[in-house]
Amino acid sequence: MTKLMTEEQVVAELRSGMTIGIGGWGSRRKPMSLVRAILRSDLRDLTVVSYGGPDVGLLCAAGKVKKLVYGFVSLDSIPLEPNFQNARKAGAVEVQEWDEGMVQWGLYAASLKLPFLPTRAGLGSDVVTYDTSLKTVTDPYGGPDLLAVPALHLDAALVHLNVADARGNAAFHGPDLYFDDLFCQAAEKAYLSCERITDDLGELTRRRIARWMVHGVVEAPGGAHFTTCSPDYERDEPFQREYATAAKDPELWAAFEARFLTGSEADYQQAVKDFHSERKAASA
Amino acid sequence: MTDVTRAEVCAIACAEAFRGDGEILASPMALVPSLGARLARETFEPDLLLSDGEATFVAGPWALGAKPPATTEAWIPYRAIFDLVWNGHRHVMMGASQIDRFGNQNISCIGDFQKPKNQLLGVRGAPGNTVSHPTSYWVPNHSTRVFVPKVDMVSGVGKDRGVEVPLRRVVTNLGVLDLGGPGGSMRLLSVHPGVTVDEVRGATGFELHVEDVVESRLPTDEELRLIREVLDPKNLRDKEVPPQ
């Protein structure tokens, strides 16, 4: 059975107030075309779980986020994410700032239908000071108390892979799967975008997403832009710089939004092309 | 060797932090610590594991800013790194936006956590790192802005938080410290050539334990050759620690 959908069809299945997990890592292989589709929607009050990058920044800037669960938010080559910083400085979002291993543990617990998983990570730090929902658990075998990381149940997960078939089997061709399989398994419904739909998924050991984890598949060439999607393309550094510069100034940001984020995905991809030809022309 | 730079002394101090570590992953988070870790592996700690910064263990020396060597040892995606962190076979040298007298480190935010004056990275792996395996810190700008009486958000766990933390060294552009003072407080071990103890005290926003401070060691001729010709021929180290 084919699970092919468009970005708009995915967003139509989401609801305000949902908890949404976003795969990738920092500014690497993020399902950006799905994020952009959310920006165009009237969804709001989302809880977003992410190894955060521009996905988090864009959703915060658009006022879509009620609460964030994250270990970090970074653009990698630009360490700090200015839109995320703006949201935090304004006190505009609730946060659960966890150790990044705790985020993995929460997703893993949800994917295994366990209420929590124990860890040492977080103990002694202010993670447990500011997230008062966290509790410790006694080691029944007599060791020291451990932190009980609660399951991070996701209503939906969004991930972007290099290739997939129409039924939702998918492969990563870059250096790292990140935690995309856990995001899919922790979710009620996982939506997967990819560079290409194909029946030739390549090397077996790279096919780490199996169709039972996936509810919908979107063919989205350039769908991770401006984050990395190695080896299909690397991060668009000039564009990321443009994004980060704009996010630091309300007027520049309004212009950035008007130019890149108001139209369809096709409009976005065209605007990015134009951005690069203008740069080329200016430097010639 | 009167022409040895401050950055080179810092690189040696970073390398020394990894002495005795054996077959563990050395995770340096900035330029000078990277130089130090690679230097340690080329000289006195040949069994150290080093990552290419993405998802591969690589063998052999390579220069700062250059492509990692083609000799790969193992695939280590983040999932494998997380396992390795909690397993303990790692020594990380992290940065610190703030660090206090007991080695609590902050990379999360400045000001009130609920509505910070400035938001930084987030705690990342600092809480788990510090309770799981040896942790050192690198501070290229030793000042009272970084060395504060109390950090705003404890990301990396210090010695006064009721949990075991194997904290090792704090290497700065001025000297080398550890948490060997009374009650796990910060102690000055050495000052870099040209730096006085008072200078370090003045740049530290809390009482520092000071006793038997020596001068940080200089690189040997062979270490200097490795630094200048093999590991950092582009002299990127001076960007992180400008010459005096």
Task: Locate the domains of chain A by residue range.
Answer: 4-114+151-238
β-pairing, A146-150 with A154-164?
A: unpaired
Judge whether B117 is closer than 8 Å to chain A, CB to CB: yes
Judge whether B92 is closer than 8 Å to chain A, CB to CB: no
Yes or no, beta carbons of B115 and A119 under 8 Å apart: no
Yes or no, beta carbons of A179 and B79 under 8 Å apart: yes
Per-residue confidence band for B244, with pLDDT thresholds at 50, 70 and 90: confident
Judge whether A129 is closer than 8 Å to chain B, CB to CB: yes
| Range B6-240 classified under CATH 3.40.1080.10 | yes
Quick: pLDDT tens for B111-121.
999 999 999 99
Yes or no, beta carbons of B115 and A89 under 8 Å apart: yes
Q: Which CATH superfamily is domain A4-114+151-238 in?
A: Glutaconate Coenzyme A-transferase (3.40.1080.10)
Helix B78-87 vs helix A100-111: crossing angle, to nearest 10 = 110
| pLDDT of the residue at A251 | 98
Name which of B77, B161, B162 is nearest A176 (Cβ-Cβ).
Answer: B77
What number is the average pLDDT over the span A182-197? 98
Alpha-carbon A252 to chain mean position: 24
Yes or no, beta carbons of B126 and A125 under 8 Å apart: yes
* CA–CA separation, B94 and B156 (whole Å): 9
Distance from CA of B129 to the nearest CA of A (A): 8
Distance from CA of B132 to the nearest CA of A (A): 8
| pLDDT of the residue at A284 | 79
B125: tokens are 């792996």
Q: What is the DSSP string of A105-150?
A: HHHHHHHTT-SEEEESTTTTSTHHHH-TT-EEE--TTS---EEEEE
| pLDDT of the residue at B69 | 84
Exposed/middle/buried for A167, CB within 10 Å: 0-12, 13-18, 19+? middle
Q: Are A228 and A235 in contact (CB under 8 A)?
A: yes
Judge whether A121 is closer than 8 Å to chain B, CB to CB: yes
Judge whether B222 is closer than 8 Å to chain A, CB to CB: no
Q: Are A98 and A106 in contact (CB under 8 A)?
A: yes
Yes or no, beta carbons of A79 and B121 under 8 Å apart: yes
Yes or no, beta carbons of B77 and A52 under 8 Å apart: no
Yes or no, beta carbons of A101 and B123 under 8 Å apart: no
Q: What is the DSSP string of chain B?
A: -TT--HHHHHHHHHHHHTTT--SSEEEE-SHHHHHHHHHHHHTT-TT-BEE-SSSEEE-S---TTSPPPS-EEEE--HHHHHHHHHHT-EEEEE--SEE-TT--EE-SEES-TTS-SEE-S--TTHHHHHHHS-EEEEESS-STTTB-SS-SS--B--TTSSS---EEEEEESSEEEES-SGGG--EEEEE-TT--HHHHHHT-SSPPEEEEEEEPPPPPHHHHHIIIIII-TT-THHHHS---
Q: Are A216 and A208 in contact (CB under 8 A)?
A: no
* % pLDDT > 90, chain A: 99
Per-residue confidence band for B2, with pLDDT thresholds at 50, 70 and 90: low
Minimum Cα–Cα distance from B115: chain A residue: A91
Name which of B85, B120, B124 is nearest A71 (Cβ-Cβ).
Answer: B124
Name which of B109, B127, B157 is nearest A88 (Cβ-Cβ).
Answer: B109
Yes or no, beta carbons of A126 and B126 under 8 Å apart: no
What number is the average pLDDT over the span A145-153? 98
Judge whether B114 is closer than 8 Å to chain A, CB to CB: yes
**pLDDT surpassing 80 at residue B81:** yes
Judge whether B166 is closer than 8 Å to chain A, CB to CB: no
Quick: pLDDT tens for A65-120.
999 999 999 999 999 999 999 999 999 999 999 999 999 999 999 999 999 999 99
| pLDDT of the residue at A152 | 98
Name which of B85, B115, B128 is nearest A91 (Cβ-Cβ).
Answer: B115
**pLDDT surpassing 60 at residue B1:** no
Judge whether B54 is closer than 8 Å to chain A, CB to CB: yes
Judge whether A69 is closer than 8 Å to chain B, CB to CB: no
Quick: pLDDT tens for B157-208.
999 999 999 999 999 999 999 999 999 999 999 999 999 999 999 999 999 9
Q: Is A94 helix (H, G, I), strand (E, B) or coil?
A: strand
* CA–CA separation, B77 and B57 (whole Å): 10
Yes or no, beta carbons of B131 and A179 under 8 Å apart: no
Quick: pLDDT tens for A219-277.
999 999 999 999 999 999 999 999 999 999 999 999 999 999 999 999 999 999 999 99
Distance from CA of A40 to the nearest CA of B (A): 27
| pLDDT of the residue at B70 | 83
Minimum Cα–Cα distance from A85: chain B residue: B119
Name the average pLDDT for chain B: 97
* % pLDDT > 90, chain B: 97
Name the average pLDDT for chain A: 98
ipTM of the modeled complex: 0.96
Distance from CA of A121 to the nearest CA of B (A): 4
Model pTM above 0.90: yes
Yes or no, beta carbons of B123 and A71 under 8 Å apart: yes
